[in-house]
Amino acid sequence: MVFIGFISLFALDVFGEFNSWQKTALALFMHLIPSIALVGLLIVAWYKKRIGGVIFVIIGICFGFAFDAFQYLTGFLLLVLPLWIVGILFFISDKKTPPLK
């Protein structure tokens, strides 16, 4: 959720670019599409943890190529690594723990 909030901050650059509120609202919606998609995938991952782990690792790879994050260490650390960590944590949380006696 923190990563989605971080990605959503980049949508705030649309304010002040357009004169009408309709154009600003449309531009804000267009910039928030990745965040909306990530929220939907997070909901799926919350209930299907193994599928969520795969999805977030694949999204990390896609973000890496889409934003050229594999070329720079900071891009990798900010955009790819958090998604991979989330995916791995979903995999770990999917393992069944034995009941306490």
* Chain segment 11-37, per-residue pLDDT in tens: 888 887 777 888 888 988 998 998 999
Q: Which residue has the tokens 């944590």?
A: 89
- Do the domain assignments include residue 90? yes
Domains in the chain, number: 1
Domain of residue 68 covers 2-94
- Do the domain assignments include residue 99? no
Kindly report the pTM of this predicted structure: 0.78
- The set of residues, in sequence order, having a beta carbon less than 8 Å from that of 7 and lying 6+ positions away, is 34, 35, 38
**Percent of the chain beyond pLDDT 90?**
48
- Do the domain assignments include residue 100? no
Residue 42 has which token pair? 């997070």
